[in-house]
């Protein structure tokens, strides 16, 4: 799975409020599918489809114990989405470097225009 498709899959998975609620539930620990389904006013097959979407993008893993599927949260796929969001909200590295360069250029120009005695402070 490429970086972009992984981010897209995770973003699409958490876009649904039912799936976000399932993830919140699983944050407390693993749960069987029947207990997850019991918390929603939708059908068990609908909850099963939500769990499949979460499983396919890697946000949950399931294990079969007897006749029961136990689901647990795996938040690691959220890292790529989180990193992408942070890249949008954090200042651009090049922008900061160019701002620093601009400051140095102006300082150099100013220092060339001001006589050396003025830069070091005049003593009368």
- List strands edge to edge, sheet with 68-73: 31-32, 68-73, 60-65
Residue, of 46 and 88, whose pLDDT is higher: 46
Distances (CA, A) of 79 to 3, 113, 115: 11, 51, 54
Check if the beta carbon of residue 10 is closer than 8 Å to that of residue 82.
no
Q: Mean pLDDT over all residues of the chain?
A: 87
Strands annotated E in the chain = 31-32, 60-65, 68-73
With pLDDT > 90 as the criterion, what percentage of the chain qualifies? 57
Q: What per-residue confidence (pLDDT) applies to 107?
A: 86
What structural domains and CATH numbers belong to the chain?
A: 1-113 (1.10.10.10)
Q: Considering Cα of 77, then 79, then 82, then 88, what sign does the dihedral take?
A: negative
Q: What per-residue confidence (pLDDT) applies to 123?
A: 52
Give the model confidence (pLDDT) of 65-106 as tens digits: 899 999 999 999 999 899 888 888 766 777 777 888 888 888
What's the rounded mean pLDDT across residues 31-56?
96
SS3 state of residue 72: strand
Q: What per-residue confidence (pLDDT) applies to 42?
A: 96
């Amino acid at each position: 799975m490429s970086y972009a498709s992984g981010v897209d899959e995770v973003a699409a998975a958490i876009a649904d409020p039912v799936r976000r609620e399932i993830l919140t539930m699983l944050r407390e620990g693993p749960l069987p599918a029947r207990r997850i389904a019991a918390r929603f006013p939708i059908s068990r097959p609908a909850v099963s489809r939500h769990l499949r979407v979460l499983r396919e993008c890697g946000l949950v893993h399931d294990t079969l114990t007897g006749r029961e599927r136990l689901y647990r949260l795996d938040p690691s796929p959220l890292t790529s989405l989180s990193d992408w969001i942070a890249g949008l909200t954090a200042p651009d590295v090049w922008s900061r470097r160019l701002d620093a360069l601009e400051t140095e250029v102006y300082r150099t120009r100013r220092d060339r225009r001001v006589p050396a005695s003025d830069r070091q402070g005049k003593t009368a």
